[in-house]
Amino acid sequence: MADLKPAYLIHGDDHGAVAERRAGLKALAEQQGDAASVEVLDGEAGTPAGVALALSAMTFAIGRRVIVVDGVERWKQAEVEQQLKPAMGEMPPETTVALFAREENRSKAPAAVHDAVKRAGGQIVPQATVKPWELGKWARAQATRLGISLDAAAANALVAQVGGRQQRLLRELEKLALEVEIEGETQLVSVEDIESRAAHSAEWRSFALADTLVGGDTAQATLTYLRVRRQGERLAGLTYLMAQRVREALIIALRLQAGESVADVRRGLRMPPRAAERFVADVAKADPDRLRRALGALADMELDSRGGAAISSSRSPYATLNEDTIALHAIEMITD
């Protein structure tokens, strides 16, 4: 435990990475047995005042004392200045305070926390998500670190198939690296490898459902919907992604109708090449007016699944039905 610093601030909007850092530090401290004690402060104890109180409290623990604090993104600047900074300015010996902030939008660790950690001789570790347009480059760098090689097309295919969550992408890369090692294959991972091996994200499965709506295939759309629901997907999330996909299909249909080439349309899509080819082919057969009606049906499905219109006289008769019944009715209307 000699390498532990007096203070840490692990913060950022990559919540998975923040959680991994927290679990790693806590496990490292617990592995020391009697050489360290770990305290987790949450609720009222996990406030600037609560941490200051813990730092000033007498303890009979032997060895390094590690205090883990969550929810720092909810702290107020003034409270940190008044209550915590003085306590961290006089850190007790053999003590580490680890502060974790799962940031999002305006919920961020106050600047005073950064200052307090620096003054205590601690370390600040940002864990920021990679921008969507940088995910392919990030995936290639992680693949190289794991001993495999992705070209740009394979990296983009991985992001399109697995989704944009860095932790999920990293897990899939680790699985691919393990498969390559076990099978003794070449280190180069192709687009075909990605399409056949990498797990599909919930978003991909939802888009697959939306693609059957675009294609007007009632039987396949019904079957895909039931499979996705069996996997635990919520109708609210499915509705959002389905509407997004159908809206994208309508835009593509209008572009094709205006004379834009299929090749130009396919090049602008963020999905594996084969999937892009199938999607554009389905859209080319779809009537833009039917896609507009599909968006209206999805909007009605969402309203009905939430209990219908606020005014009872305007409420659809489907609003009282089970949400799966509502969804299957919408699928029939869209693909008819």
- Give the whole-angstrom CA distance, residue 245 versus residue 205: 12
Q: Each residue of 42-100: pLDDT tens digit?
A: 777 889 999 999 998 866 666 788 999 998 999 999 999 999 999 999 888 889 999 99
Phi, psi of 62 (to 5 degrees): -100, 135
Q: Mean pLDDT across the stretch 227-234?
A: 72
Residue 307: count other Cβ atoms within 10 Å of its Cβ. 10
- CA geometry: angle 16, 69, 24, nearest 5 deg: 45
pTM of the predicted model over 0.75: no
Q: What is the pLDDT of residues 243-276, one digit of tens each?
A: 888 898 999 999 999 888 888 888 877 776 777 8
- What percentage of the chain carries pLDDT values higher than 90? 24
What one-character DSSP code corresponds to residue 332?
A: H
User: CB 23: neighbour CB atoms within 10 A?
Assistant: 10
Domains in the chain: ranges and CATH: 7-126 (3.40.50.300), 132-197 (1.10.8.60), 202-335 (1.20.272.10)
| pLDDT (mean) for 218-222 | 90
The pair phi, psi for residue 290, each rounded to 5°, is -65, -35
The predicted-structure confidence for 310-331, as pLDDT tens digits, reads as follows 777 777 888 778 888 999 999 9
- Which residues are within 8 A (CB) of 114 and not within 5 positions of it... i.e. 6 or more apart? 9, 124
- Residue 1's pLDDT is 44
Average pLDDT over residues 188-196: 77
Pairing state of beta strands 64-69 and 36-41?
Answer: parallel
Q: What's the rounded Cα separation, in Å, for the pair 22 and 42?
A: 14
Rounded to whole angstroms, the Cα distance separating 330 from 294 reads 8
pLDDT for 181 = 62
